[in-house]
Structure 1
Amino acid sequence: MQGPFFGRRGTLLYVSGWLLLALMLSALVASTAGAGWINSVLFAVPLLLLYAVGCSFSAYYMCRAWPLEKQSGLSILAVFCVSALMASAGWTGLGNAWNALLQSSGQEWAGVEMTTSMKVLMFALGVVLYGLAALGNYLAIELARARQSERRELEAQVAAQDAELRMLRTQIDPHFLFNSLNSISALTSSNPAGARAMTLQLAEFFRHSLGLEAHRKVTLAAELTMALDFLAIEQVRFGERLTVQQQVSGEALACLLPPMILQPLVENAVKHGIGNLTEGGAVRIIATRAGAMLRLAVENDVDADLPAATRHGIGLANVRQRLAGAYGEQAAVHWSRRENLFRVELTLPAESQGA
């Protein structure tokens, strides 16, 4: 918000509009007062452009002093009626003075005949133009306020997304870190190379997760890399009890999605699925692109004798909430349990970089 003109472009449009009105007033003066075209232009154009500046500043600051959301409609109407009458009266008087100055030059092309009808026309036109200026300023002020409100809402959404991502990081099972460190400690004596590899994998996983920003989407390839790093660390702890399978199409790898969407799903698959199986099982990551939609699925083996539980509720609720915030009704989350297989499927728009 920069004064009554609202920036350089607004100033250009404002001056252009008033200049067009000045030319129209010149034609009106020529027909009303019977003056020549040069007389009418010399009289009307400088006068109306001067009124444009005074009218714009007066109407703008009046609009700021009497905001629509804080004042009643009748009080605003009364104030602007009085302001319009005063501004128009001053403009009519200025027109008389300007015309007298032109006529004092003694030139035939200077000045017009200021008849009563001419003065009434100027006064009425001044009232109308002041009202239009006030209306335009109110519209511009409300538009700027709406944009500021939208900007604040977007900033709040970004802040909320960042907070959600930070919360998600804190929800990564602390036992995962402790168990990983214990596994590294156990490997240092029996398998130093394995301990070093696991340490590097653990550092890489947390480096990726801490560098993510909630409002910046990542490719499925990057998201899949972090999920596989997590599973690789868990494989050291579970050994042959945990196998990882993936079926990912090449065209799906370039698709964008919110960061750490797969993380809670693979974590649940290991913790609540494979962790309850004595003989172990598999975690499968499936990704395909079907036209304008991207389909992701995480499957894991479960104990068929255990009843279906709501232990996946927090992770699924988190994923569902983040997808809803990013895509609205275009995204969906479904889960199913069939005997010894638990499956979570995500459907979201297939976006790509530069699209």
Structure 2
Amino acid sequence: MKKGLINIRIPEVIAVVSVYLVLSFCYHMTLYFNRGGQNDPADTLWDIGDWYFTKGLQYTFMFVATAIVWFVIFRICRSWPLKYRLLLHFLGLPFFILFAKTLFYRICEYLGYWHLDGNAEIWDVYIPGLFYLIQFAVFHAYEHYIINQRRLQYEIELKNSALKSELSAIKAQLNPHFLYNVFNTINASVPKEMEETREMIAELSDLFRYQLKASREDFVTLAEELEFVNKYLKLEQKRFEDRLSIHINVDDSLLSRKIPPMILQPLVENSVKHGISPLVKGGRIDISIHEKENKLCFEISDTGIGVEDKEAIFTLGVGLSNTQKRLQKMYQSTLKVTDNLPSGLKVQFEL
């Protein structure tokens, strides 16, 4: 379900309405049996049908008042700290009672129906007030339950992602020297006349070596990460030739900063694979890194075809979705995806 200002499920509405119907019926039956199961002979307006109508009308106004208070506290002010939202009930409670009681009494008087009067009116204050406290206690408890369930689900997803990363790291560490030896063997078998191919194999070997290092270490320097990205892009440029141009803008003073390994490559790969590759004329990828308020600000933009549905970009592969989860877990940061004018896509994040 998409997030919005209302964001309430139909079963939840049905549950609340059902509670009001049940309580209205119980209230009627309590008073009916309290009178010995008899109608008031002096007042024909105490007919069962009329009584149901008046009680239903009263609880309808209570339901409307509840909806108004709920909307203010649980939607308009949902970003407020809980203690301030609870203080709003000091305004919500009198509003709820006065709103329901005043409208109910005026409608009854207008239509000629009976309602409590005199000292008995206190029951139309006490009962709604008690019901208000009970129902909003349930609402807050339900909200806490939903938030807790979402948090647990998010933690499970993070643990699964971490487990997958650990398994991938274990696999990457299986006989790595065998892999490097294979590259060296292939490289040695390539004729000297094919020097460009030899260089590509050597760069590919370096990529695997860095990937293995990334599986073992939590942080690398920005210089190491950019060197890895450069080697990857050089291999891509061999494939695209003059269809792919690269521009990297980063101050030398930032190269020693520590960042998580493999944080840039999935974003750059996405620009190449889904942005530039579909275009016959190719395009350009810009990587810009600067410091702002003691944070490293990253921006990867391309002049590719772009993406209309920005949320769908995280379903293109595990690279982007895992990068998003890593940023959220380690830095409480997120990937910001926007259009790159005049064409293409721009991805930004902070560390």
On whether the aligned pair clears a TM of 0.5, the verdict is no
TM-score normalised to the size of structure 2?
0.44
TM-score normalised to the size of structure 1?
0.44
